[in-house]
Structure 1
């Protein structure tokens, strides 16, 4: 599965290192540039899916870099990373970029902004290609945050529940072997683990009751199938 490639243009070494490590841990492929000139060169050579660009940088500032990018590419999503707080700077930035986040920012907020922007801007990229995010009918399942969200309900999941739902989501509309799931998540398919698994299956079915187009069904003698987008 192809990773989503992000271009990070940031001249502060510590911040760049932390952001790069966090995004890579969440499944993104990160290309880093330390200034605007390098950013332009790496944009041309790597063709990223999206860009995170600081404004105040040596060689070429973020505004100039984004203007150059927009001269040749109107579609690649861009988020400004900025310590500048003036409304004029925000307005100027949004003339070319899709979003901005003010320093200091939380890594959690940055992740959410990236994911939301990619969901809007890359409709042809399957939802599961956004690391840890799955679209299940009207539900959004965020594996990394262990959350299952629906317009009528937000459900926090245990790690075991999240691991199980991830396996089902990765094989949506296909049969997931009960034996393989037991061995992978519990380490053994003995009777005690099997009964334990039945409890978690019941919990997941309860969480999915808000959307009748999403069902976790038994496949006799084999396992389970997470059926999505097929109305009753």
Structure 2
């Protein structure tokens, strides 16, 4: 049985019961909260391996929870579940540091698969052969998702860390969009492509002071992470 602990925020009690019951049958330890305040109280008290957040919650919505979680922990994966289908809502969630977004009604099987993928990646990152890279002036610690220089520390999300590591392992080489999407998400559909653009934009901003580093967009092909050694 898995000992992984999931924080699950959902105010629809029927949906919450079904989802929690299914995940527990898969061996997960699920802590369910009916509103945003209870969710944050639970997060501060216990260590969670992944967070699953509905957006429309009483007292504190999922976006607010994600922002608060990222102030405390920038590494724990966050998956949004929402009836909101607007592209802007999805992009907002990703910009707040979420790693994925499922639209209601969702498949329990798909949710379980995404959880499994995130947890496997967390394990893989922890035992990765190469754990330290030089990125311009920064040292990149892949295990702790940290970019450091002197007293400066920038904590990346798990997804940002995975993308940066993929680029560094293939520096100065063209990576096709579908290669990146399949490597990070296991899928290359339209929405995942938009998600990739968000994460690349965030990495560009983080590395904007590095004159010898650029993420080149090759229209219709993919990207190249250029580093002048």
Alignment of 1:36-51 (within 5 A): 36-51=36-51
TM-score of the aligned structures, taking structure 1 as reference length: 0.52
Give how far 1:116 is off. Answer: 1.1
TM-score of the aligned structures, taking structure 2 as reference length: 0.53
Q: Does the Cα contact within 8 Å between 2:10 and 2:32 map onto a contact in 1? A: yes
Structure 2 residue matching 1:91: 3-state secondary structure: helix
Give how far 1:72 is off. Answer: 1.2
Does residue 122 of structure 1 match 2:109? Answer: no
Q: Does the Cα contact within 8 Å between 2:2 and 2:28 map onto a contact in 1? A: no
Return the alpha-carbon distance in structure 2 between the equivalents of residues 54 and 82 of structure 1: 6
Structure 2 residue matching 1:123: 3-state secondary structure: helix
In structure 2, stretches of 5+ residues that fail to align are 128-229
Structure 1 residue matching 2:88: 3-state secondary structure: helix
Deviation string for 1:75-96 (max 9, x for gaps)? 0001001110001000000111
Does residue 65 of structure 1 match 2:65? Answer: yes
Alignment of 1:7-26 (within 5 A): 7-26=7-26
In structure 1, stretches of 5+ residues that fail to align are 127-232
Does residue 27 of structure 1 match 2:27? Answer: yes
Q: Does the Cα contact within 8 Å between 2:5 and 2:49 map onto a contact in 1? A: yes
Aligned length: 126
Give how far 1:101 is off. Answer: 0.6
Give how far 1:125 is off. Answer: 7.0
Return the alpha-carbon distance in structure 2 between the equivalents of residues 119 and 16 of structure 1: 24
- Rg larger for: 1
Give how far 1:119 is off. Answer: 1.6
Alignment of 1:48-197 (within 5 A): 48-95=48-95, 96-123=97-124
Runs of 4 or more, structure 1, over 2 Å off, are 121-126
